[in-house]
Structure 1
Amino acid sequence: MRDSVTNPGGGALVDELLDLALEAAERAGELLRDGRPEDLAVAATKSSPIDVVTEMDLAAERLITGFLGEHRPADGFLGEEGASTAGTSGVRWVIDPLDGTVNYLYALPTWAVSVAAEIDGETVVGVVAVPMRGETFRAVRGGGAYVNDRALRHRPAPPLEQALVSTGFNYVQSVRDHQARVAARLIPRLRDIRRGGSAAVDLCDVAAGRLDGFYERGLNPWDLAAGALIAREAGALTGGRPGRPASGELAVAASPGVFEPLSALLEEFGAWHDGRG
């Protein structure tokens, strides 16, 4: 275990959770970066034939849950590839062992390991490791956000028409079609739209001032938990439909000043709708 990271926002338990999250994400990132086979194959599909799981997703989740379970056997787990236990300690780990699986499958660099810790249902620690960038993002509730050893702050808010915003697309074709129509209506109102392929990385890029905003429908708790905390601790705003928290219906993160006008357009254009019915 590495030396404890200075954490102005937490006590001994949060320090322990942060150290464990950092170590677990680093180990999984090294496995994924160094162990990727040249003939990497799809192990299974989820919602559609393009929503894939590789053998490495499964191996990374086993590594993370095994490591955390060894150190904290009473904790619960929620993981993208099936880890789900209630635990008895009040702590639950929310894990995406490989966010950006399709990028990883194609040897594109934008993928990440996301590890968050909740205490009594509230996210208190978030770590997103992006191995191909050599970056590890981290945050604790009330303690700020960092990438490696550099403090993060959101980008100063431009007028909406000068904002660079990222999004993602669902794997179900009818939902993708609707999302593309929303994006087509948004593009004339923004500087431009990006599609990186990893929600966790997009949220961290909002925190780092590399994006003015991000939105997506259809995200799961493991997509959001760590990255959303990092974005908030860097001063960005996060939420869902107006007045609601981020959820699978809609997740939005943006610099203050961009968040409200972007959210208003997303509501007007029906970005929260799945395009069916």
Structure 2
Amino acid sequence: MRSPGYSVVPTELADIARRVAERAAEHVRGRRGELFAPTGTRAVDDAVSAKSTPTDPVTVADTETEALVRELLRQERPDDEILGEEAGGSVAVPNGVRWVVDPIDGTVNFLYGIPAYAVSVAAQVDGRSVAGAVVDVARGVTYWAAVGEGAWAAGLGAADADPVRLSCNPITDVGLALVATGFAYSRERRVRQGALIGRLLPEVRDIRRVGAAAIDLCMVASGAVDAHVEHGLSPWDWAAGGLIAAEAGARVVLPPADSRSADGHATIAAAPGIADQFIATLDRIGACAALPD
């Protein structure tokens, strides 16, 4: 274990996160066609199992990809801790650097062949994300950020185009906001989330449910949506995307670094021109409070 005060360079960690996430995305992209039919859930034997509930799947590609990410990170940073969705790790905030990994965010989309799933890799120091990358696998777009250095994307246009610096939409009226959200796997929380969305929908332009929180947060950063709210995300869901959104100018409210999905904390990201209005609206309808299991 490294000492608590050892030096880290966020841009170097962001470079590592980007390289590792892009390599992992190559693996995910290749395995989709090997394990499943082009669309739908038809799969080879033993490709899919259930986790927390029957509606919460994990595929062999999830576990393979996390193993690959862990191997690549150990080659680059052998003394750092790793917290991953599949192989676990302590949520307690360590001294030094902790890598937070979601090998496939949007596994249900991956399972069905819906092109909205991502690899997310972030580096945290004292529980705060300082670098991270999210690769939208199907679209071939990489988003990344280092604290204080802005948020960037590559692959939005021509393959050889220069990286694009991201910024949130210049929106000022929450009534015109396009809002991304997501839902839990537990029936009880879904009931409460559905009621909250019913109260939010008349207050905004519309709601989008993409099915991958890391992508939602990057969409706030790129201006593909204006805001995001979701209850019950785990650190691997928001560690990279939350930083990318913040570095693009969004107001971001994150769960505690040692929280889990069961705690039900809200993750919020909003373009700066509507942030006050959006958070006030969420508070008025009761959506800022946690929804624990």
TM-score (norm 2): 0.84
1:94 aligns with 2:100: yes
1:34 aligns with 2:30: yes
1:104 aligns with 2:125: no
Between stretches 51-60 and 119-128, larger displacement belongs to 119-128
2:57 to 52, 61, 79: 52
Counterpart residue number, 2:4: none
Aligned pairs for 1:132-147 within 5 A: 132-147=138-153
The CA deviation at 1:275 is 7.8
Counterpart residue number, 1:4: none
The CA deviation at 1:273 is 4.5
SS in 1 for 2:265: coil
Counterpart residue number, 1:70: 75
2:209 to 180, 195, 200: 195
2:188 to 174, 177, 180: 174
Letter matched to residue 224 of structure 1: W
* Cα shift readout 1:36-75 (whole Å, capped 9, x = no counterpart): 2122555432221111111110000000001111221111
Counterpart residue number, 1:21: 17
Q: Give the RMSD, CA atoms, in angstroms.
A: 2.4
Equivalent pair of 1:50/1:171 in contact (CA under 8 Å): yes
* Distance in 1 between residues matched to 2:94 and 2:221, nearest whole Å: 33
The CA deviation at 1:19 is 2.1
Q: Runs of at least 4 residues of structure 1 off by over 4 A?
A: 85-89, 244-248
TM-score (norm 1): 0.88
* Distance in 2 between residues matched to 1:119 and 1:152, nearest whole Å: 24
* Distance in 2 between residues matched to 1:87 and 1:257, nearest whole Å: 33
Equivalent pair of 2:235/2:257 in contact (CA under 8 Å): no
Equivalent pair of 2:168/2:250 in contact (CA under 8 Å): yes
Equivalent pair of 1:154/1:255 in contact (CA under 8 Å): yes
SS in 2 for 1:136: strand
Between stretches 111-120 and 56-65, larger displacement belongs to 111-120
* Distance in 2 between residues matched to 1:190 and 1:200, nearest whole Å: 22
* Distance in 1 between residues matched to 2:53 and 2:130, nearest whole Å: 33
* Cα shift readout 1:217-273 (whole Å, capped 9, x = no counterpart): 0001110110000001000110159xx999741010001132222222222222234
1:269 aligns with 2:285: yes
Counterpart residue number, 1:259: 275
Letter matched to residue 224 of structure 2: R
Equivalent pair of 1:157/1:257 in contact (CA under 8 Å): yes
The CA deviation at 1:12 is 7.2
* Distance in 1 between residues matched to 2:267 and 2:189, nearest whole Å: 15
The CA deviation at 1:88 is 8.4
Give the count of matched residue pairs: 264
* Distance in 2 between residues matched to 1:246 and 1:87, nearest whole Å: 6
Structure 2 unaligned segments of length 5 or more: list them.
1-6, 37-42, 155-162
The CA deviation at 1:21 is 1.1
The CA deviation at 1:34 is 1.1
* Distance in 1 between residues matched to 2:192 and 2:140, nearest whole Å: 35
The sequence identity of aligned pairs, in percent, is 44
1:230 to 244, 255, 265: 244
Counterpart residue number, 2:232: 218
SS in 1 for 2:9: helix
Equivalent pair of 2:179/2:208 in contact (CA under 8 Å): yes
